[in-house]
């Protein structure tokens, strides 16, 4: 508030100085939506000097904004005495304002927060104040924080060695898919995969080579899953798990056999295996339409038992939870 001791002329001079100095855009419209004030910030960031817009209708200066959200707020302020805050999420940059000519050419607008407020002017009809704040830095910071959060989340859910989903991601996804299968009555299949004789591989080729081997296996297994809803995760050590939503037992067995064949086709040498002279995997498959009282632990337990049966049947094969190993494709 200006001191009561200040003369009207000084008050006007100070107010004009403040409006020209503030680092926000200020537009004042009269009752007929004509521009009566256009501060220096607006001159700096728009293509229009004050002399070119004063007395002009708002929609003549900004024809693309006619009947838009900001224009509607102006009408509401003038007719209904109603203040508005224009949503940044829905209207990131309503005014064509730019930092430079290059930005204007490429239409890289300043990110804006816009407030529209009715103002009373003595002896005159109601006016309207439009205040435009540059929030580009805050928007950029928020976007970077959001990207960082997504990156951190991605790292939290990825296995550092193989680059596929880790056990934590598996736990989250199996809970989600299990609940969804309960609701929809759709089949849910799991494939548990274990690298045959992997301890001997590590002991004889070294842990660095063993890590490389697991990464190759993870990449090959990932190639067999074509749907975005499927998930391959490293379950622990040399064990992997595939979640196959909306997949019946026949489809799960087919995928499991393709997985087995894909690893065999890698032909990674394993002179110390008791199965073959190359790296192989054993796979256990379970399919369930979860009833209301079903539990995830029982589903995973069934997959584990199926894997044990595959190993007991000679390894390098697929077995289902009812103890029927699937013969190798020729």
Active-site positions read 238
Can you tell me the distance from the alpha carbon of 202 to that of 231, in angstroms, rounded to the nearest whole number? 26
Can you tell me the distance from the alpha carbon of 15 to that of 7, in angstroms, rounded to the nearest whole number? 12
Q: Is 137 exposed, middle or buried (0-12, 13-18, 19+ CB in 10 A)?
A: exposed
Strand partners, 242: 191, 232
Contact criterion met (CB below 8 Å) for 77 and 84: yes
- Report the relative pairing of strands 35-38 and 318-320 from DSSP bridges: unpaired
* DSSP state letter for 329: P
Q: Is 215 exposed, middle or buried (0-12, 13-18, 19+ CB in 10 A)?
A: middle
First to last CA, the chain: 90
């Amino acid at each position: 508030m200006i001191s009561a001791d200040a003369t009207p002329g000084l008050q006007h001079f100070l107010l004009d100085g403040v409006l020209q100095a503030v680092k926000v855009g200020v537009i004042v419209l009269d009752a007929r939506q004509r521009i009566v004030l256009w501060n220096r910030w607006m001159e700096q960031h728009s293509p229009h000097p004050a002399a070119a817009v004063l007395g002009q209708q708002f929609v003549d200066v900004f024809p693309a904004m006619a009947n838009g959200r900001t224009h509607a707020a102006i009408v509401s302020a003038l007719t209904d005495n109603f203040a508005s805050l224009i949503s940044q999420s829905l209207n990131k940059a309503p005014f064509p304002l730019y930092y430079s000519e290059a930005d204007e050419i490429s239409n890289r607008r300043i990110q804006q927060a816009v407030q529209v407020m009715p103002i009373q002017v003595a002896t005159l009809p109601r006016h309207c104040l439009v205040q435009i704040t540059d929030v580009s830095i805050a928007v950029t910071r928020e976007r970077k924080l959001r990207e960082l959060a997504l990156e951190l989340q991605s790292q939290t859910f990825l296995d550092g060695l193989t680059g596929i989903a880790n056990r934590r991601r598996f736990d989250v996804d199996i809970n989600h898919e299990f609940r969804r299968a309960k609701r929809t009555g759709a089949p849910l299949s799991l494939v548990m995969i274990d690298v045959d004789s992997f301890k001997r591989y590590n002991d004889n080729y070294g842990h660095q080579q063993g890590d490389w081997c697991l990464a190759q296996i993870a990449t090959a297994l990932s190639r067999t899953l074509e749907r975005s809803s499927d998930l391959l995760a490293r379950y622990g050590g040399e064990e992997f798990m595939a979640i196959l939503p909306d997949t019946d037992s026949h489809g799960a067995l087919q995928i499991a056999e393709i997985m087995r064949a894909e690893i065999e086709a890698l032909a990674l040498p394993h002179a110390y295996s008791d199965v073959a002279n190359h790296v192989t995997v054993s796979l256990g498959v379970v399919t369930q339409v979860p009833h209301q009282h079903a539990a995830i632990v029982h589903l995973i337990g069934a997959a584990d038992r199926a894997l044990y049966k595959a190993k007991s049947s000679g390894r390098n094969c697929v077995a289902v939870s009812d103890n029927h190993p699937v013969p190798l494709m020729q």
